[in-house]
Amino acid sequence: MLSALAAGFAQVTAAHPQFQEMADWSRFFTAADAQGSIVVLDARDNSETTYVHNPSRAERRYSPASTFKIPHSLFALDAGLLRDEFQVIPWDGVKRPTAAWNVDQNLRSAMRNSTVWVYERFAKELGDAREAAYMQKIGYGNAVATGDKPFWVEGDLAISSIEQIAFLQRLYRNQLPFLVEHQRLVKDVMLNEAGPDWILRAKTGWTGKIGWWVGWVEWPSGPVFFALNMDTPNRLSDLAKRQSIARNVLRSINALPVAP
């Protein structure tokens, strides 16, 4: 199974990292009463080691949900729908359940608050064909914009944790087919938190059934990429588990400082 995983990862990253199946990481999922997988690529100290918990799930494609806001922001910038992170995106006046959505937005607030209507507007302006063309251009999952809307939550778009890592690596290194300034801007609005010598950039996602947390931690010695995917049978009450599990995993390899 791991050889198949390695082959799949090599195909999408054009790299041949060493894989280590981390059965011991099951304790973090068990403690949280959760089922899922996590892939961690540690690229510190000029080397690459890939750790995997639950490899078969890590290969399986799922709806990206709001993690798609990362590439979607690049598409909007490239298409000229956005100039920069300061451009105001006018609220349409429709009251939605999340209070932070019911005001004008910009790229930073839309990413921070995961403001769905902003990206639905981008999707409408781009159109399904152009969305699919962009995804095919960067090799994002199955690269389709079909099915119910929004297609990245309710539709047919799907991506695996392994493919998420491959995409994040290219973004980190400014290797995607977009202007470097656009890639740098999207990374900037992905900022979650930082310490004296580290920066965490990440994005959550949730379909209602599947939860994601993907991103990386930057260190002076290099980045550590991660992609967590888990079931959320208890819906909202499960959402905090995404970050708590991933943080525990990252701390176990000293990729994130221990909470004070």
Q: E strand or H helix at 136, and its extent?
A: helix 128-138
Rounded Cα–Cα distance for residues 28 and 59 (Å): 20
Please say if 237 is a catalytic residue: no
Which residue type, as a one-letter code, is found at position 128?
A: D
| Measured distance CA(52)–CA(37) in Å, rounded | 8
How does DSSP classify residue 84?
Answer: S
Q: Is the peptide bond before 150 cis (omega within 30 degrees of 0)?
A: yes
DSSP letters, 22-44, are -GGGHHHHHHTT--EEEEEEE-G
Looking at 3, 26, 56, 66, which residue is catalytic?
Answer: 66
Give the list of residues 6+ apart from residue 68 with CB closer than 8 angstroms, or none: 119, 152, 157, 205
> What is the set of active-site residues?
66
